[in-house]
Amino acid sequence: MLNKIDENIYELPIGYKEGMRVPGRLFISESLLEMVEPGTIEQVANVATLPGIVKYSMAMPDAHLGYGFPIGGVAAFREDGGVISPGGVGFDINCGVRLLRTDLTVEEVRPVISDLIEALFKEIPSGVGATSRLHVSDSELTEAFIAGARWAVEEGYGTEGDLEHCEENGCLKGADPSQVSTKARKRGRPQFGTLGSGNHFLEVQYVGEVYDERIARRFGLFKGQVTVMIHCGSRGAGHQICTDHLEVLAKAVRKYNIDLPDKQLACAPIGTPEATNYFGAMAAAANYAWANRQIIAHWTREVFAKYFGDVEMPLVYDVAHNVAKIEEHMVDGRLERLYVHRKGATRSFGPSRREVPQDYRDVGQPLLIPGSMGTPSYVLCGQDRALELTFGSACHGSGRIMSRSQAKKTYRGSEVKASLQREGIKVMATESAVLAEEAPEVYKPSHEVVEVVHALGLAKKVAKTIPLGVSKG
C-alpha cells in the first residue's frame, strides 16, 4: 500500500481509499515509519479526499494520530474550490515555540539553576486551568485578538525587535473577535499570560552543539550559551473557539453536501460564511497565543534580570506549529494563493521567501523543534527545497508514541523527576502526573525526526540545545 518512492519519502496511492483526490506523502524514515499507527496512515488518506486539496496530503516524520487530521500533517487547499477545516489546525490554535538567547554561559547559570527554575515556576503560572496575574478587560482582550504580539509589546511586554522575529510578526491578519464566543472569552481572559499543561513548558537550556557555524552566528547562537525555550498556545480560548466552530462546521458539511470519510474532518468551502467565520476566530486565537508567549517572555526576562542583572535576552524566533495560513506557492508552474494547514508542523521558509525576517534573509527562517522533557531540542534553518516538497514545511517535535493514559500506568511522576534530577536537570511541575505523561520514553527520539528533515533538505540542522531546568504544568 505504501510505496517507497525515494529515500525518506513514501507515497500512498490514490487507489488506496475511495474518494482520494490526491496521493498521500509521508516524509519519514523506515524506522520511524514502524512507530506510526495504522490509524495515522488512514488519516493521511482521509485528508486526501477533501475538496480542493493540492498536490498531496502530507505527513512529517513526527506524525501521529490526531483529531481528524494527523498531528504532523500538512495540507494545502486552493482558494477556488478548497475547504478550511479546524481539524487541520488542532484544538490548541497557534501552539508554538519561541527561543530567547542570552549572553550567559552554562557555567554561569548551572550553579543557580534550582533557584532560577523555582522563580520562573512562581512568576509564570502553569497547570490546567491556571490563572494569570495579568488582569485584562474585555476590550483589551479584543485588542489582543486583533493585534497579537504587538498588543503585548504596546502594553510594555517586550520590544519592537521581538515582533520582527515572530512568524507573521506575531499577528495573523483577518482576526474577527465577533466570532469568538462569550464562553471562549470567559475561559481565555483569566488565562492570558499562563503556560498551560501537558507538553507545554518553559525550559532553561544551553547550546550543546553547533552544526552550522555561519547560520548559528546569524541567529546569535554559540556553543555553551544559555537559551530559554517557551512552548505554549492559546489555552482555553483556542480550545473553546475550536469546539464552537466545529459544531457550526459539522452543519456546514451537510449544507454544502461534502462527503467525508470521518466526521472529525468537518470543514466548509472557502468563501462561505462558515469558513470565513472560523478563519476569523482561528486568527483571533492565533493572535492570543502570540501575545501569550510575548507576555511570558517578558516575565522570563524580568526573572533573569533579578539573578543576572541587566542581561540582554533577544528573541531568536517564534514559530506557530498549529495554524492555517494564506500563502502563495507554485503549483504546476503557476503562483497560487493556498490555505496551508499545518497541524503539528512548522513552516520552513528558505532565503527565497520574503516572509523571512530581513536579518535572517540570506540563510532562511529559524525552526524551533522542542525535544521531550529532559531531552535535547533543535534549532534548524528553513530551506527552499521545502517549497518544492512540502509547501515550505517540516516537523514540529518528537511526536508521541504512547498515550497519556498508558504513560500514567507505566511511569511514576516522582521517579521521572528523580531520574532527571540525577542527570542534573531541575524539574518543577504543578502536578506529578504530568511528569509521567511527559516521560522522555513516551516520545519518538527527536534526533531521528530531525535527521530525516535534514536529510530531505526540508530544513538544515543549526544547533542542539540541552536542558538545564524546566518549569511545567
> Which residues are part of the catalytic machinery?
396
Return phi, psi of residue 332, to 5°: 50, 45
The answer for residues whose C-beta is within 8 angstroms of residue 116's C-beta and 6 or more apart is: 109, 204, 303, 304, 307, 469
Burial classification of residue 114, based on how many CB atoms lie within 10 Å of its CB (0-12 exposed, 13-18 middle, 19 or more buried): middle
Please state the closest distance from residue 278 (CB atom) to DNA, in A.
17
Please state the closest distance from residue 239 (CB atom) to DNA, in A.
4
Question: Does the annotation place 398 within a ligand binding site?
Answer: yes
Burial classification of residue 260, based on how many CB atoms lie within 10 Å of its CB (0-12 exposed, 13-18 middle, 19 or more buried): middle
Q: Is 401 in the site for DNA (CB under 7 A)?
A: no
Stretch that binds DNA, among 101-109, 183-191, 214-222, 380-388 (CB under 7 A): 183-191
Question: Does the annotation place 435 within a ligand binding site?
Answer: no
Please state the closest distance from residue 422 (CB atom) to DNA, in A.
24
| Single-letter residue type at 353 | R
Q: Is 70 in the site for DNA (CB under 7 A)?
A: no
CA dist 76 and 390 (Å) reads 9
Q: Is 447 in the site for DNA (CB under 7 A)?
A: no
Q: Is 441 in the site for DNA (CB under 7 A)?
A: no
CA dist 31 and 416 (Å) reads 26
Considering only 91, 121, 299, 391, the residue that binds DNA (CB under 7 A) is 91
Question: Does the annotation place 325 within a ligand binding site?
Answer: no
Considering only 51, 129, 208, 351, the residue that binds DNA (CB under 7 A) is 129
Considering only 103, 176, 431, 448, the residue that binds DNA (CB under 7 A) is 431
The answer for residues whose C-beta is within 8 angstroms of residue 314's C-beta and 6 or more apart is: 100, 101, 161, 165, 220
Question: Does the annotation place 370 within a ligand binding site?
Answer: yes
Contact predicate 304/311, CB 8 Å: yes
Chain centroid offset of residue 279 CA: 18
CA dist 215 and 218 (Å) reads 5
Considering only 223, 329, 404, 447, the residue that binds DNA (CB under 7 A) is 404
By C-beta, is 150 or 343 nearer to DNA? Answer: 343
Q: Is 196 in the site for DNA (CB under 7 A)?
A: yes
CA dist 321 and 172 (Å) reads 13
| Single-letter residue type at 202 | L
By C-beta, is 113 or 130 nearer to DNA? Answer: 130
Question: Does the annotation place 446 within a ligand binding site?
Answer: no
Question: Does the annotation place 203 within a ligand binding site?
Answer: yes
Considering only 57, 94, 191, 393, the residue that binds DNA (CB under 7 A) is 191
By C-beta, is 240 or 365 nearer to DNA? Answer: 240
Please state the closest distance from residue 71 (CB atom) to DNA, in A.
9
User: Which residues make up the interface to DNA (CB under 7 A)?
Assistant: 91-92, 95, 128-129, 183, 187, 191, 196-200, 232-233, 235-236, 239-240, 404, 431, 438, 473
